[in-house]
């Protein structure tokens, strides 16, 4: 019988996964997958590429699950792994030019936050590729400006201005009060 792991703490699930328990890791995947896919698409990855990178990210995460310290949500840890993989792949594909920007918006559901998400994804599509990437990584994956500068191999000032400009544009599009 497959145990019900839906109420199990992420720290315990990670410990079980580190011992090779696939069901425990499956539960972690179930919980974090929407966040990982959303982030990759918001960064600008085409749906197929986003899912491809998502898979690679989970394989990498399973190999290094013992290093997950449960200091934050598992989804946050996964998002950073996936974001780094996307950056590496994009850098390999075309140095400093972020490829395969998707105009496809995620399919929506009927819950109350759906309208916000449509707005966010539509607003993101209006940003430049660099702004979109920096804003998504900063607000969606919790990267600091310093971390972003290192990951993207860009000057710190450039990263800060991408985040600032992108955030301002997003706030204006979403009509958020300053």
Partner 1 sequence: MSDQQDPDLQALFSRPAVLPDADRLQQQILTGIEQQQRRRGLWLGAAGVTGLLVPLSLLVASVGWPGLIAAISSWTVSLEHSSAGASTVLRVLDSQYALWAASAAGLVAISIAAARSVHPR
Interface residues with partner 1 (CB under 8 A) are 20, 22, 25-26, 29-30, 33-35, 37-39, 41-42, 47, 51, 54-55, 58-59, 62-64, 67, 106-109, 111, 113, 116-117, 120-121, 135-136, 138-140, 144-145, 160, 163-164, 167, 170-171, 174, 176
* Between 3 and 34, CB nearer to partner 1: 34
Nearest approach, Cβ of 177 to partner 1 (angstroms)?
A: 8
* Between 14 and 170, CB nearer to partner 1: 170
Determine the Cα–Cα distance for residues 65 and 17; give it in Å rounded to an integer: 7
* Between 95 and 178, CB nearer to partner 1: 178
Q: What is the three-class DSSP state of 80?
A: helix
23 touches 3 (CB < 8 A):
yes
Nearest approach, Cβ of 175 to partner 1 (angstroms)?
A: 11
* Between 12 and 118, CB nearer to partner 1: 118
* Between 54 and 87, CB nearer to partner 1: 54
Nearest approach, Cβ of 158 to partner 1 (angstroms)?
A: 14
Angle at which helices 74-93 and 22-43 cross, to 10°: 50
Burial class (CB in 10 A: 0-12, 13-18, 19+), 152: buried
159 touches 133 (CB < 8 A):
no
* Dihedral pair phi/psi, residue 154, rounded to 5°: -125, 155
Nearest approach, Cβ of 126 to partner 1 (angstroms)?
A: 14
Rounded to a whole number of angstroms, the CA Rg of the chain reads 17
Residue with tokens 């310290």: 69
């Amino acid at each position: 019988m497959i145990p019900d792991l839906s109420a199990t703490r992420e720290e315990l699930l990670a410990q079980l996964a580190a011992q090779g328990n696939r069901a425990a890791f499956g539960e972690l995947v179930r919980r974090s997958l929407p966040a990982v896919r959303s982030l990759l698409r918001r960064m600008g990855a085409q749906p197929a590429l986003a899912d491809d990178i998502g898979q690679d990210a989970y394989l990498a995460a399973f190999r290094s699950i013992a290093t997950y310290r449960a200091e934050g949500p598992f989804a946050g840890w996964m998002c950073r792994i996936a974001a780094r993989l996307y950056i590496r792949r994009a850098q390999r594909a075309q140095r400093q030019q972020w490829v395969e920007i998707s105009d496809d918006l995620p399919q929506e559901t009927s819950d109350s936050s759906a309208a916000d998400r449509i707005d966010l994804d539509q607003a993101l599509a209006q940003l430049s590729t660099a702004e979109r990437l920096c804003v998504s990584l900063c607000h969606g994956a919790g990267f600091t400006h310093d971390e972003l500068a290192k990951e993207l191999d860009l000057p710190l000032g450039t990263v800060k201005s991408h985040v600032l400009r992108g955030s301002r544009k997003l706030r204006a599009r979403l009509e958020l009060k300053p």
